[in-house]
């Protein structure tokens, strides 16, 4: 087998593996799944190591994955990980030596237009996976690469051939979606972990039935995607909260609009909603993770005003 052929086959198998995993687990994958990787003709191929730029031993020269560590709650994101003015991601070189093996490897990926995988840390031990991504620019002075996210459907030789502008626009679009997804997922996972994956109203502990609700919606100027503006709520209580049927007083007392729930309508209404009237919201112990009182006040005023 020639080297380029082996490289392409391992890469495609890696994409398939991630496709399978995200179908089962969603687009945020645990580190152990990436660490364990997959078997390729009897050889184990890991997808991550302790280094950000990673080339498994089976591949001849070009790295397979690039990883960014998660941002800790309340901390600014690492300076090297941001969206540039061109709408593409920036990724820092390994170390300060532009000619380090891993940096040379990524420049080779750029020259040969080889697709890579991007893992973006969401919270400790959990990564959003995106592929294919391409290195589209390298800046040795700033020690940064420019990374564009693309769509698997366009991998290979398109027929008819696409214009550079079309490729550029499509990649800018997918990169933007990825960036938004990272922020959305980070908020979700940070909130759910702060609440130990339980609904703040009913304590339901079913990850698939839980959401991270915004206290002030993200359309509001103060509706930031941060834990103090979040509540872990089950689907029912999230919908009731967003629909202003269930409100939370600034002292964390639960307030239900019982007049909207007048009908005697069986156990779900009785136990799922009415029973919580006057109860206290279960919130995280650390003060930094609790709902912000000012945000709750503002939201409670909206709840009162709503019909
Ligand atoms: Zn609930």
Q: Which DSSP string do the residues of 153-204 spell out, in sequence order?
A: GG-S--SSPPPHHHHHHHHHHHHHHHHHHHHHHHHHHHHHHHTTT--TTT--
Nearest-angstrom CA–CA distance, 227 and 213: 10
CA distance 42 to 62: 21
Instruction: Give the C-alpha separation, 39 to 55, whole Å.
Output: 15
Q: How far is the CA of 199 from the centre of ligand 1 (A)?
A: 5
**Cα-to-centroid distance, 93 and ligand 1 (Å):** 45
∠ CA 145-149-106, rounded to 5°: 35
Q: Mean pLDDT of successive 10-residue segments in the chain (307 residues)?
A: 85 97 95 98 96 95 95 63 85 93 96 96 95 97 95 78 89 94 92 97 94 94 93 97 96 89 74 91 96 97 91
Distance 180 CA to ligand 1 centre (A): 27
- How many angstroms does the Cα of residue 66 sit away from the middle of ligand 1? 38
Q: Please tell me the distance between residue 125's alpha carbon and the centre of ligand 1 in angstroms.
A: 26
pTM here is 0.87
Please tell me the distance from the alpha carbon of residue 59 to that of residue 16, in angstroms, as a whole number.
17
């Amino acid at each position: 087998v020639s080297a380029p052929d082996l490289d392409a086959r391992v890469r495609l198998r890696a994409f398939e593996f991630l496709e399978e995993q995200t179908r089962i687990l969603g687009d945020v994958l645990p580190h152990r799944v990436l660490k364990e990787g997959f078997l390729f003709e009897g050889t184990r191929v890991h997808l991550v190591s302790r280094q950000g730029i990673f080339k498994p031993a089976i591949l001849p020269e070009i790295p397979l994955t690039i990883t960014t560590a998660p941002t800790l709650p309340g901390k600014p994101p690492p300076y090297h990980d941001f969206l540039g003015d061109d709408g593409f991601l920036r990724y820092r070189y390994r170390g300060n030596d532009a000619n380090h093996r891993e940096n040379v490897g990524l420049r080779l990926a750029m020259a040969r237009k080889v697709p890579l995988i991007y893992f973006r840390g969401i919270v400790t031990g959990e990564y959003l996976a995106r592929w294919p991504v391409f290195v589209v620019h390298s800046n040795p002075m700033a020690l940064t690469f420019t990374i564009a996210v693309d769509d698997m459907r366009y991998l290979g030789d398109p027929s008819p051939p696409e214009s550079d502008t079309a490729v550029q626009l499509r990649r800018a679009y997918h990169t933007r979606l990825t960036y938004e997804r990272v922020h959305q997922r980070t908020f979700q996972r940070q909130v759910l972990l702060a609440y130990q994956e339980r609904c703040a109203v009913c304590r339901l502990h079913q990850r698939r039935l839980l959401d991270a609700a915004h206290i002030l919606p993200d359309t509001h100027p103060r509706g930031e995607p941060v834990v103090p503006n979040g509540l872990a709520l089950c689907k029912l209580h999230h919908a009731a909260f967003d629909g202003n049927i269930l409100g939370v007083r600034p002292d964390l007392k639960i307030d239900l609009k019982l007049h909207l729930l007048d009908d005697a309508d069986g156990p779900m209404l009785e136990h799922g909603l009415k029973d919580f009237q006057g109860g206290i919201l279960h919130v995280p112990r650390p003060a930094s993770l609790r709902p912000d009182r000012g945000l709750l006040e503002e939201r409670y005023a909206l709840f009162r005003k709503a019909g």
